Chain A
Amino acid sequence: MYSIIAVDISGRHKINDRYYMVCAAVSVSITADHIEKVNQIKIKTFWLDSVELTDIIQVIEDTAKEIEFEGTIITEHGEMYNQPEGVVASMFSRDFKYQESLGERSSIELAHHISLCTRNLLLNELGIDS
């Protein structure tokens, strides 16, 4: 069993010429094929003007630093515009890799549901017209 921080971002399309993004970071203890324990969940919202790779990395770093548990940051390939792992990892200030095992994929799926639901809820509650 080992701990990771699974991250997912929702909102990569423009609202009133800007991007309203919700990033969910989930610290989980996993095995190769399933999640054993959810340690902590952090959600942060961002208004961005652009969604370049560096912006995405900043969003992830800002959210993941609020997690109190250690662990490599893991995302889907598409989150980083399918850039090679080595290139992306070198831009992070902490360990990063793409999803590999079933356990890691399940964790990212969990993060994805959290970020998507949170964004939908916030858009609704704040009356932001998407």
Chain B
Amino acid sequence: MKRAILVQRNDSMIDESKNIRQFIELQDLTRSANYEVVGDVVQTRGPDRKYQVGRGKVEELALMVKELGADGIIFSNPLSTTQIYNISETCRCEVIDKFQLILEIFAERATTKRAKLQVELAKLQYELPKAKAIVSLLKKEERPGFMGLGSYEDSYEQDIKSRINRIRKELASVQKDNESLRVKRHERGFSIVALAGYTSAGKSTLFNALVDENEHVDDMLFTTLSPITRALNIRGRRVLLTDTVGFIEDLPHWMVDAFRSTLNEIFLADVILLVVDASESPDIMRQKLVTSHDTFWEQIEGVPIVTVLNKVDRITDDELEERLESVGYLTPNPVAVSAINGLGLDELKMEIYNQLPKWKRDTVSLPMSKYGMSIVSWLFDESIVHNISYKDRIIVDFEARDEIIKKAKGIELKPESEHTLT
């Protein structure tokens, strides 16, 4: 296990609780990336152009690295290429920032082709604005035979750009496949429900509790990187539930872009389950909810949201009430749940059912024939059959999507000569 020292520079104007929260989050991320935290440094001051923190602090860090035998330094604040270069020159060890750490975690967890492409794209997008600086820093230590004269800054940048384009194209084709899959699922009568929320809110535990499965759950950030989908039956409606990657505060735009095809699983759902850890303090809950709303903004276009207040087994009813009072304005359709012991799951399913795209109820009269029976069997597959009576004709009272009702009505009106089994 690699040993790391964590560093955070706080702005004096920023609220103290936010600083603490960000530092705890950095610790969790470091743990998730398999690092051992051997020391930490926090400084409150304005940003330094050369070192991010003060020069004196960097010298202090260099001593700490030697004494504690650290393999690397992880900054909570984003670092420029020059800052990384200067700090690693002084401290003589690897220096990364929070976003590079997230990328490390993603790279390690990426298993599917899509996830791997997304991680590569995120890495390249992270590198792109730094490309020129990287080459000019490398050229500082230019040796005979190393590149030599010429505008390598441009060619390196161009190379990154063309790789980004290539990956975008590949991702677009994956996305196209997913789009058609989504359309097919809708055609087959499935509604799509996506789990979303801050990382470590308990989305995977809730997913397992709802679909009765055993997907990998860990007390770590970003356990789920590729979306996992399972079928579920809610009061006769067939639903596909998708577990997705968690959100994180201040996620840079290039990272949201890179994970667009995964996030689309959320944005293009019929219902979104926004999972929140209700056992945390109201202030932290508020921050995490704001981050989730921020990620949803301009993406979900009116998709209904059900807020799942998870982990309620860890708090009292009064505490739950207090939380609802202070963050109620950020929680559409709240349902209290404990995924781990199954509390509130029925209420949650009921709420999901209420928010699903509405189905209409209708009656259709079918001929008492082989053809008529095949239509009955199709109706049982595609809709909820409330009542059926077999007399001269088959009368079916059913509930379904508009398209299914229209199709059934069309069959009802068809002349008998056209009744052929396909």
A-side residues, CB < 8 A to B, are 2, 31-34, 83-84, 86-87, 100-103, 105
Encode B1-38 as 1/0 by CB contact (under 8 A) with A. Answer: 00000000000011100000000000000000000000
Q: Is B284 an interface residue (CB 8 A)?
A: no
User: In the complex the two chains form, is A32's CB within 8 Å of B329's CB?
Assistant: yes
Interface members, chain B 254-304 (any A CB < 8 Å): 286, 289-290, 293, 296-297, 300, 302, 304
Q: Which residue of B lies closest to A102 (CB)?
A: B293
Residue numbers in A under 8 Å from B297 (CB-CB): 102, 105
Q: Is B331 an interface residue (CB 8 A)?
A: yes
Q: Is B332 an interface residue (CB 8 A)?
A: yes
User: In the complex the two chains form, is A100's CB within 8 Å of B302's CB?
Assistant: no
* Alpha-carbon separation in the docked complex, A111 to B331 (Å): 23
* Alpha-carbon separation in the docked complex, A83 to B290 (Å): 18
Total cross-chain contacts (CB, 8 A): 39
User: In the complex the two chains form, is B302's CB within 8 Å of A101's CB?
Assistant: no
> Can you give 7 A-B contacts (C-beta < 8 A)?
A32-B329, A100-B289, A100-B330, A101-B289, A102-B296, A102-B300, A102-B332
Q: Which residue of A lies closest to B11 (CB)?
A: A84
* Alpha-carbon separation in the docked complex, A33 to B13 (Å): 30
The 10 tightest CB contacts between A and B, nearest first, are A32-B332, A33-B332, A100-B290, A84-B13, A101-B330, A102-B293, A105-B297, A33-B305, A101-B293, A32-B330
> Which range holds the interface residue count of chain B?
10 to 19
Residue numbers in B under 8 Å from A31 (CB-CB): 332
B-side residues, CB < 8 A to A, are 13-15, 286, 289-290, 293, 296-297, 300, 302, 304-305, 307, 328-332
* Alpha-carbon separation in the docked complex, A26 to B360 (Å): 37
Q: Which residue of B lies closest to A87 (CB)?
A: B13
Residue numbers in B under 8 Å from A101 (CB-CB): 289-290, 293, 329-330
CB of A68 to closest CB in B, whole Å: 22
* Alpha-carbon separation in the docked complex, A84 to B13 (Å): 7
* Alpha-carbon separation in the docked complex, A18 to B205 (Å): 58
* Alpha-carbon separation in the docked complex, A102 to B196 (Å): 15
Residue numbers in A under 8 Å from B302 (CB-CB): 34
Residue numbers in A under 8 Å from B304 (CB-CB): 33
Q: Which residue of B lies closest to A33 (CB)?
A: B332
* Alpha-carbon separation in the docked complex, A100 to B296 (Å): 12
Q: Which residue of A lies closest to B18 (CB)?
A: A84
Residue numbers in A under 8 Å from B290 (CB-CB): 100-101
Given A83-B13, A105-B293, 12 further pairs, Cβ under 8 A: A32-B328, A32-B331, A33-B304, A33-B305, A33-B332, A84-B15, A87-B13, A101-B330, A102-B293, A102-B296, A102-B297, A105-B297
Residue numbers in B under 8 Å from A105 (CB-CB): 293, 297
Residue numbers in B under 8 Å from A103 (CB-CB): 329
* Alpha-carbon separation in the docked complex, A86 to B18 (Å): 13
User: In the complex the two chains form, is A86's CB within 8 Å of B293's CB?
Assistant: no
Q: Which residue of A lies closest to B334 (CB)?
A: A32
